[in-house]
Amino acid sequence: MKQVGDRKVWSVAEVTGAIARRFEDVPPLWIEGEIQDLRRRAGQVYFALADQHRIAASMNAIVFERLAPRPGDGERVHVYGRPQFWPLRGEFSVRVEIIQRMGEGALRAEIARLRERLAAEGLLDAERKHPLPRLPAAIGLVTSAAGAAREDFLRNVWQRFPRARIVAVDVPVQGDSAPPAIVAAIERLARTDVEVVVVTRGGGSLEDLMAFNSEPVARAIAASAVPVVAAVGHERDTTIADLVADVRVSTPTAAATAVVPDERQLTEHLARADRVLHESLSRKGTEHRAKLERLAATARRALIHLAARGAERRDGHVARLYGALRRASAAASTRAESRGERLDTGVRRARERGGARLERSAAMLGALSPVATVARGYAIVRDHAGAVIVSADAARTGDALRIQLRDGELPVTVREP
């Protein structure tokens, strides 16, 4: 250090030396990062360890070469080493002693073990899955407020069902703080009136999605009394969260479709139901009115028919009676006529023979024909044996007699004169 006017000036070596001294006390530690720009030079391997930031690292090439398999660019690793400052070039780097692959293979193995364990407990069983309500009173949303997943979900939910109510919890969706935050959010939402919970985040590397492959998150989803829809990552990413969720969809947009009905469709469905109810009832009414009318008409006809038949029957009896009487009297007169004719013929013959006495007798016979006589209003009285009574002396008081009239007989009893 030297004084130049009113200013203190340090040499580069003084600065780098001071910084180097500061780093002397930094202990070795584990660092997680992705390997980039791996290269070998002069017995060393050099690379960068990166997440959002980057630090240089170096390692003894012989130690590195012994790793099987050796990690390469793009691979996520845990390194154990000491941060150092190299004063000659003014550079900072980590001197790596141990390097462990944290790559997808290890993660996948870890996921597979967890999956197996949960499956053995039955947490992945289809019977455990709850159906989603068709119209949830409210929808819980567990995702990062900064993520595109949230916007995708909200836009699509409201497009399908403009009145949907959302209760959102902002959580980190990657990193160590994500699992406990997601667990807490699911538990919090279960105590509200939400009827379905959506847990979502966009796509990312397997490491990015690891919160959704963590055991606490898986158990919180499985234990949730409220059905959970998981939409984590892209189509090809299946996390444990997806497997234990009641419904698994591949994108936030699909999650929106899963949790709310299409309002237009639902409204149409209800309108149709209303229409069917009214039309069916009114058709039923018409049908029954028609049926009633048919029945009434049938009944009317039946009654008229019955009445008619009653009348007919009555009339029939009368007619039959008349007919019988007519026939009887006709037969009687026919008989009488035929006899009369025969008599007439006889009379004619007699006349032809010119017998006046015979002619008179014939007239007498005609007058005496009982049928003709009765038909004229005379009666024939018979006793109980049918013998004709011609004298009052032949009957005594109390005798039962029959009087034959034109159309029948009258039973009579002889009274005291």
Partner 1 sequence: MTDKDDDLTFDAALERLDAVVARMESGDVGLEEAVELFERGQRYLDYCLKRLQQVERRIEELAGADPPTENGENPF
Residue 298 sits in the site that holds partner 1 (CB under 8 A): no
Site string for partner 1, 93-132 (x = CB under 8 A): ----------------------------------------
Q: What is the closest distance, in whole angstroms, from the C-beta atom of residue 288 to partner 1 in the complex?
A: 5
Q: Smaller CB distance to partner 1: residue 145 or 363?
A: 145
Quick check: 45 and 71 in contact, CB under 8 A?
A: no
Nearer to partner 1, 14 or 151 (CB): 151
CB distance 207 to 149 below 8 Å: no
Of 47 and 161, nearer to partner 1 (C-beta) is: 161
CB 239 within 8 A of CB 208: no
CA dist list (Å): 45 to 29, 83, 103, 142: 19, 16, 19, 43
Rounded (10°) angle between helices 148-160 and 252-259: 30
- Selected binder of partner 1 within 48, 96, 164, 245 (CB under 8 A): 164
Q: Which of 54, 108, 288, 348 forms a contact with partner 1 (CB under 8 A)?
A: 288
CA proximity to 368, closest of 346, 336, 341: 336
Binding mask 12-51 for partner 1 (x = CB under 8 A): --------------x--x----------------------
Asked whether 117 and 174 are in contact (CB, 8 A), the reply is no
Listed ranges 259-267, 354-362, 379-387, 406-414: which one lies at the site for partner 1 (CB under 8 A): 259-267
CA distance 140 to 82: 45
Minimum distance of partner 1 from residue 2's CB (angstroms) = 31
Q: Sort 333 into a burial class: Cβ within 10 Å, 0-12 / 13-18 / 19+.
A: middle
Residue ranges in contact with partner 1 by CB under 8 A: 26, 29, 133-135, 137, 145, 154, 158, 161-171, 176-177, 180-181, 184-185, 187-189, 192, 263, 266-267, 269-270, 272-274, 276-278, 280-281, 284-285, 287-288
